[in-house]
Amino acid sequence: MPLCMVVGAVFCRKIAWVDSMSHGLITPVLIFLMLFFTYCGVDARKMRPSFMHLWLLLFQIVGSVAVYYTLWQWNEVVAQGAMICILTPVAMAAVVIGGMLGANVATMASFSLLCNIVIACIAPSVLYHFGNGECTTAQILQRVVVLLIVPFIVGQFSRVAMPKVAAWVGRHRQMSFYMWLMSLIVIMGRTTNFLLTHEADSRVEITLAAVALVVCLVQFGVGRLIGRRYNDAVAGGQSLGQKNTILAVWLSQAFLDPVSSVAPTAYIVWQNLVNSFQLYRKGQRENS
């Protein structure tokens, strides 16, 4: 993961050009395929909402508003950046990484669907009051429905109509990790190029990156604490800590002060460093 982030940052100009030539379809296609591979191995009958999901959602909603009001009088741009890092729903790739770390995939898949739908309904109101007042539910839903719900439907349909194909895909779902690495290169290239082409106060940018680091660590920590109460610390940590940063950057640039997008951009780096460390530790434990 760190190597992919470095590659994306170093070759950001070329990657951004290729991404623009594809009309931004590279990452969505990779995410769709990645989730399809994951959902083929998930039995929908085992997916159920739980009290853990409720606590995680409450933290996101209440925490995002609380952090905004805490930082607002000091610096509104920083407040917006911190808020969007908490409010943004769980990453679609969190199910993949969580599964690799030993989390209950059905639990995470349930929360992924629930969280994205709930936040899509609540976010417009929050962004309307704290942003430029132009956010609608339809704008957010169209960003997540195709990438989140459609691969789930296709995956479950495959389990019923093409069980042998679904079984093969389910056995090889580790391929989704390498798809995630490819999408990570594109994301880092595109966001690095954005930062290089948009000038802003360097002190504000550094502060946004630092706040994103604190928010990232707090969310992974709180998520693990909540998850531990329900015997799945990994699922809790990934569900709350790993964010849909592509959506977060878009929300920041479209409905908040564009400079605030530095926070979710930095969050990309922080959450993937955390994921890298967790995968490294898991590998060490398995090899010892």
Mean pLDDT of the chain: 82
Residue 288 counted as domain residue: no
| 196-250 per-position pLDDT tens digit | 777 667 788 899 999 999 999 999 999 999 999 988 899 899 999 999 887 787 7
Long-range own/partner contacts, residues 136-141 (CB < 8 A, 24 or more apart): 139/254, 140/247, 140/251
Question: Is residue 236 included in any domain, yes or no?
Answer: yes
Mean pLDDT for 146-171 is 78
3-state SS, residue 243: strand
pLDDT tens by residue, 111-155? 887 887 788 778 788 887 887 666 666 766 676 667 667 777 887
Query: Is residue 177 in some structural domain?
Result: yes
Please report whether residue 285 resides in a domain: no
- Which amino acid type is present at position 89? P
Give the total number of structural domains in the chain. 1
Range of the domain at 254: 2-279
Q: Does 7 map to a domain?
A: yes
Backbone angles phi, psi at 90, to 5 degrees: -60, 145
pTM score of the predicted model? 0.78
Lowest mean pLDDT among 44-48, 66-70, 113-117: 44-48
Residue 252 is assigned to a structural domain of this protein: yes
Pairwise pLDDT comparison (259 vs 93), residue with the higher score: 259
CATH number at 52 reads 1.20.1530.20
In a domain, 230, yes or no: yes
Lowest mean pLDDT among 39-53, 56-70, 133-147, 250-264: 133-147
pLDDT of residue 223: 93
| 286: in domain | no
Q: Supply the DSSP string of 199-233, one letter for each residue.
A: ---HHHHHHHHHHHHHHHHHHHHHHHHHHHHTT-H
